[in-house]
Structure 1
Amino acid sequence: MLDRRSFLALSGAAVGSALLPRSAAAADDFGGLTVGIQSYTFRNFKELESALKKTQGVGLKYAELYRGHLPTDSSKEKIAAAKKLCAEYGVTPVAFGVESFSKNHEKNKKLFEFGKELGIKAFSADPDPDSFDSLDKLCEEYKIAIAIHPHGPVGGGKMHRWADATAVMKAVKDHNELIGTCLDTGHLIRSAQLGIDLDPVKQILEMGKRNFGLHLKDHDNKRKTDVPYGDPTGKLDVPAVLKALKDVKFSGYISIEYEAHPEDPSADVKKCVDYLKDATKKPA
């Protein structure tokens, strides 16, 4: 269990330095990458402790929590209790989301206060286009990154407003360097359902140093379901993604996320964990 005091300080001037802590064990497991679970994966397990048991069971030591497991209006006492519970299961919260942000600065500030209490280094986010002036100030004050999360096709033949790296970069290029992306490889792959080719590797390279997180998942567009890494029906080239992350000197978090619908996705998540461990040990 890594003490949060060893988290490296994060600032706009030091975006190129390590964004997140890496214990020796985690570095050994995933070649130096900070790999955890997006706790939404275990959304059928409503209590935080149940999700942490599942996270521990698949061999992961980090988590991007979501509000279903820890509400953002939690008191300081409840957040402290959640952190203590995480420590008991050997899981460190490193990110939180996906959260919405608006031009309402005070409302945004409350979320950042929550993030500070939890000890995270990034929010995966779906910010309104008019929220960036507020986020500039808050990212600078709290040293917490905003990692914009493209959701791919959203119904009606339309793409999410943050469709891809080009849309995000256009919006953030003149804003605080702690505003970037948490790309989602599954949603990028799903975009092909609308005839849009969004190669995860090219997306990562386009974002460069503004990659703060990554939701790593594979998707079968024919059956419209997530599949474990390496499944022959999937499209994700995990080694190519890892090489792209290395090329941009990625120091953020990777969240293994699984949105298929078995009651307990642990078996498929474990396949993802094992596949990713093996891939990180092979030469890029």
Structure 2
Amino acid sequence: MKANTLNIGVATYTLRNLPTDAAISVLQRLAIKTCSLKDSHLPMKATPDELKAIVAKFTAAGIMPLSVGNVGMKDEASMRAAFEYAKASGVGIMVCAPPLNSIPILDKLVKEFDIKLALHNHGPEDKNFPTPYEAYNAAKGFDPRIGLCVDVGHCARAGKDPAKAILDCRDRVYDIHLKDVSVVAPNGKPIEVGRGGLDIPSILKALIAIKFTGNVGFEYEKDAKDPVLGLAESVGYVRGVLKTL
């Protein structure tokens, strides 16, 4: 697999304070071709027709939504509502943060709705899935449609090597949140990709090694009210690294 075949995209949580049309314009300016849609752009309360229309707007702009989320879940009713939302959108992967004891229920729902789940790790503050390994261990033994969204920054803050985690969990990695942190420690803060402590080349090499075809989505969290310059720098850095691999 060639490096330039990775789907270098954006998790639209990055652009959560921008209206949908403005977010699409930013992605077009950065030549981004894939994305993961957050509910700030794909509202949970939208009707099925509205959801399809929003997805179609991104697709018409040359941006393919490959996943939705992150979607929070608390109980079986909220899980079912989330699956109905994802199914109505027509996007086949849902990034989510469910309770640890909910996997048997999710196993039933992925079979019913035929949607892949990507359990998101949220770092040392997360009691359920601090790293991809807890998510992987929870999912294994259940339907293979239950997989992972590896958040590389939170993974590193929780003390695990993101590249190794991608390789170790390769059979269930369905989505990536790409970012950098100021220091590789629990108190690491969001920063432009390439300025921080993560070994970004090793992460990209791991994704190439597993022939990853999902969204490698920048989740740039440093400047919520003015994210475009930092996102553009991050995109440029990663594209430069990919040319050397």
- TM-score, normalised by the number of residues in structure 2: 0.89
Q: Which stretches in structure 1 are left out of the alignment for 5+ residues?
A: 1-26, 192-196
CA distance in 2, matches of 1:113, 1:134: 15
Say if 2:131 and 2:154, in contact at 8 Å, map to a contact too. no
- Could you tell me how far 1:103 is from its partner in structure 2? 4.5
Closer/same/farther in 2, CA of residues 136 and 41 from structure 1, 3 Å limit: same
Name 1:162's counterpart in structure 2: 129
Give % identity: 30
Match of 2:230, as an amino acid? Answer: D
CA distance in 1, matches of 2:131, 2:52: 36
Name 1:131's counterpart in structure 2: 102
CA distance in 2, matches of 1:82, 1:165: 30
Name 1:61's counterpart in structure 2: 33
- Could you tell me how far 1:246 is from its partner in structure 2? 2.6
Q: What is the DSSP-based 3-state SS (H/G/I as helix, E as strand, rest coil) of the residue aligned with 2:240?
A: helix
Match of 1:40, as an amino acid? Answer: Y
Say if 2:17 and 2:224, in contact at 8 Å, map to a contact too. no
CA distance in 1, matches of 2:229, 2:242: 20
Name 1:187's counterpart in structure 2: 154
Say if 1:186 and 1:218, in contact at 8 Å, map to a contact too. yes
Instruction: Say yes or no: does 1:276 pair with 2:238.
Output: yes
Runs of 4+ in 1 over 4 A off after TM superposition: none
Name 2:229's counterpart in structure 1: 267
Match of 2:211, as an amino acid? Answer: K
Residue-by-residue CA offset, 1:25-49 (whole Å, 9 max, x unaligned) = xx99x6211221111111221x222
CA distance in 1, matches of 2:161, 2:129: 15
Matches within 5 A, 1:232-247: 234-247=196-209
Instruction: Say yes or no: does 1:41 pair with 2:3.
Output: no
Instruction: Say yes or no: does 1:83 pair with 2:50.
Output: no
Match of 2:17, as an amino acid? Answer: N
Q: What is the DSSP-based 3-state SS (H/G/I as helix, E as strand, rest coil) of the residue aligned with 2:95?
A: strand
The higher radius of gyration belongs to 1
Residue-by-residue CA offset, 1:146-202 (whole Å, 9 max, x unaligned) = 111111133xxxx442011331222111111111211111112333xxxxx211112
Query: Please, which of 206, 209, 229 is the counterpart of residue 193 of structure 2?
Result: 229
Matches within 5 A, 1:147-226: 147-154=118-125, 159-191=126-158, 197-221=159-183, 224-226=188-190
Say if 2:131 and 2:160, in contact at 8 Å, map to a contact too. yes
CA distance in 2, matches of 1:165, 1:84: 32
Say if 2:178 and 2:217, in contact at 8 Å, map to a contact too. yes
Residue-by-residue CA offset, 1:62-118 (whole Å, 9 max, x unaligned) = 1111112221121022113212321342222111111123451x5423322221222
Match of 2:67, as an amino acid? Answer: A
Closer/same/farther in 2, CA of residues 203 and 132 from structure 1, 3 Å limit: same
Match of 2:13, as an amino acid? Answer: Y
- TM-score, normalised by the number of residues in structure 1: 0.78
Q: Which stretches in structure 2 are left out of the alignment for 5+ residues?
A: none
Name 1:256's counterpart in structure 2: 218
Q: What is the DSSP-based 3-state SS (H/G/I as helix, E as strand, rest coil) of the residue aligned with 1:161?
A: coil
